[in-house]
């Protein structure tokens, strides 16, 4: 009988005189996944670029606190770069730059490629709504010597964070006459601000016994707007009438016009550098304007024009993407059809969906940044860390991966390869421990249209608070990643 396999292996092993020495440090570097600190990796030039890019982003934030303002800013940036409204163009050809508008709250920016039907498109989609307070339909009332606006919160907020901070009002009012009035009050240094009151600690014994969720209720989020009455003793609500008089003189508004208004209360503070080293940005609305801005700049700067490149900004994500300006709206199909028609290609529904099957997308959205004060809710191995680059999330969702899509291994590998080749600093991200929380994005609505899609964006601290925090390094790396996606996918 021949020798057993084990004996052969031992005999062969014994003939080796010297075992090769293994450099385990090199092996570890080769085999382990490890986050990199973007500031350490970027070098002086990269740091300078990150700082400069963030200045433009801060200016954008200060002028774009609600959806309509964000769309306006986007159009201004795009038109300076040579983009035209698609309604101005009868025929589209490769290299043309266009934008299309839906109800002033949803917009597409696009660069036309060679053959949409054959090649599909590359898409970055982000949302431009964010948690805030909206005025109720009949908001104005008077009580105990003060006039107030009643509010209804929009999106997922912690209600106790909103009293005692300076607020500004933004939005539009459609007067009975049909005239549209745009309102922004509280942003200029000489503007008045508005505020929600809170109970003083001397009288807060019972309040402090409540949970954070119960401490401030939705119906207590009433905004103080004035206190001087009209000089007429016969008027029952003197302060309310005085406020209406001011609004009528300034804007032509009557109380009935609130029914046809869209007014939001947001933080009055400007975007500010945070920290002695100015490495962070504190601002209202990082979620998700940080990805919207970076996406648009990536589109403008992309050098590869062979394929159709699209940047969508959508509304209503914070409340489930319901509505005609959201990611679920069929306006997406409608505008793809218009592009097909104007490039001389079939625009029937079958071709639209076949084009989508050939397309790739990134749901450009933020994720939870790891917060060392609340380690117990994070999965430290799978969280996004501030300053460690753009976060790539294979899936979002909650409790058993509900309300999400999940990117395929093939698509994840493709993106990893692109980012590593471009030396883009990226990391994985996630929304906390399993069963601890979670959340959804617009990725699943793109996946339903049969596109390859994955979530990718910036880690945020204080997400959904009146002032959120991001790293300038992460903002810059997200721009680089989005640009690489357009140029290489």
What's the chain look like in SS3? CCCCHHHHHHHHHHCCCCCCCCCHHHHHHHHCCCCCCHHHHHHHHHHHHHHHHHHHHHHHHHHCCCHHHHHHHHHHHHHHCCCEEHHHCCCCCCCCEEEEEECCCEEEEEECCCCHHHHCEEEEEEECCCCEEEEEEEEEEEECCEEEEEEEEECCCCHHHCCCCCEEEEEEEECCCCCEEEEEECCCCCCCCEEECCCCHHHCHHHHCCCHHHHCCHHHCCEEEECCCCCCCCCCCHHHHHHHHHHHHHHCCCHHHHHHEEEEEEECCCCEEECCCCCEEEECCHHHHHHHHHHHHHHHHCCCCCCEEEEEEECCHHHCCCCCCCCCCCHHHHHHHHHHHHCCCCCCHHHHHHHHHCCEEEEECCEEECCHHHHHHCCCCCCECCCCCEEEECECEECCCECCCECCHHHHHHHHHHHHHCCCCEEECCCCCCCCCCECCCHHHHHCCCCEEEEEECEEECCCCCCEEEEHHHHHHHHHHHHHHHHHC
Q: Does residue 74 have a pLDDT over 80?
A: yes
**Which tens digit of pLDDT belongs to each residue from 296-310?**
999 999 998 899 999
Task: Give 181-220 pLDDT, tens digit per residue.
Answer: 999 999 999 999 999 999 999 999 999 999 999 999 999 9
pLDDT per position as a tens digit, 18-64? 667 899 999 988 999 989 999 999 999 999 999 999 999 999 999 99
Confidence of residue 15 (pLDDT cuts 50, 70, 90): low
| pTM score | 0.93
Average pLDDT, the chain: 95
What does the pLDDT read at residue 271? 98
Instruction: Say if residue 332's pLDDT is above 60.
Output: yes
Which pLDDT score, from 0 to 100, does residue 343 have? 97
**pLDDT given for residue 14 in this prediction:** 59
Better-predicted residue by pLDDT, 348 or 403: 348
In this predicted structure, the answer to whether residue 16 has a pLDDT above a threshold of 80 is: no
Write down all domains in the chain, each with its CATH number in brackets.
38-130+284-488 (3.40.630.10), 132-267 (2.30.250.10)
């Amino acid at each position: 009988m021949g020798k057993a396999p084990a004996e052969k292996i031992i005999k062969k092993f014994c003939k080796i005189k010297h075992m090769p020495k293994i450099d385990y440090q090199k092996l570890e570097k080769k085999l382990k996944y490890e986050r990199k600190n973007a500031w350490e990796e970027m070098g002086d030039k990269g740091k300078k670029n990150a700082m400069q890019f963030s200045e433009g982003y801060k200016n954008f934030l200060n002028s774009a606190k609600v959806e309509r303002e964000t769309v306006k800013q986007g159009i201004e940036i795009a038109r300076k770069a040579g983009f035209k409204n698609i309604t101005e163009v009868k025929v589209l050809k490769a290299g043309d730059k266009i934008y299309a508008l839906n109800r002033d709250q949803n917009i597409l920016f696009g660069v036309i490629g060679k053959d949409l039907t054959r090649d599909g498109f590359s898409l970055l989609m982000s949302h431009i709504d964010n948690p805030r307070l909206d005025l109720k339909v009949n908001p104005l009332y008077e009580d105990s010597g003060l006039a107030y606006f009643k509010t209804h919160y929009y999106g997922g907020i912690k209600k106790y964070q909103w009293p005692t901070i300076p607020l500004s009002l933004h939005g539009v009012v459609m007067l009975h006459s049909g005239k549209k009035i745009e309102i922004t009050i509280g942003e200029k240094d000489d503007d008045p601000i508005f505020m929600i009151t809170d109970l003083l600690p001397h009288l807060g014994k019972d309040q402090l016994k409540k949970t954070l969720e119960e401490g401030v209720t939705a119906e207590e989020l009433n905004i103080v707007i004035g206190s001087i009455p009209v000089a007429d003793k016969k008027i029952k609500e003197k302060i309310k009438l005085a406020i209406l008089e001011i609004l009528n003189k300034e804007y032509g508004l009557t109380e009935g016009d609130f029914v046809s208004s869209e007014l939001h209360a947001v933080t009055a503070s400007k975007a500010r550098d945070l920290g002695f080293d100015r490495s962070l940005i504190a601002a209202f609305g990082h979620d998700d304007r940080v990805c919207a801005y970076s996406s648009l700049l990536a589109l403008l700067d992309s050098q590869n024009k062979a394929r159709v490149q699209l940047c969508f900004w959508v509304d209503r994500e914070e409340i489930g993407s319901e509505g005609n300006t959201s990611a679920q709206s069929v306006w997406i199909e409608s505008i793809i059809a218009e592009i097909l028609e104007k490039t001389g290609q079939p625009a029937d529904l079958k071709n639209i969906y076949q084009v989508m099957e050939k397309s790739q997308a990134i749901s450009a959205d933020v994720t939870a940044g790891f917060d060392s004060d609340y380690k117990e809710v994070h999965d430290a191995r799978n969280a996004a860390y501030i300053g460690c680059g753009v976060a790539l999330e294979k899936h979002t969702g909650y409790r058993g991966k509900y309300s999400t899509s999940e990117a395929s291994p093939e698509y994840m590998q493709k993106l990893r390869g692109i980012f590593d080749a471009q030396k883009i600093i990226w990391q994985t991200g996630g929304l906390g421990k399993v069963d601890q929380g979670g959340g959804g994005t617009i990725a699943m609505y793109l996946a339903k249209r049969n596109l390859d899609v994955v979530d990718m964006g910036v880690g945020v601290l204080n997400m959904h608070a009146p002032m959120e925090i991001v790293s300038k390094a992460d903002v810059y790396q997200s721009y680089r990643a989005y640009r690489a996606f357009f140029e290489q996918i």
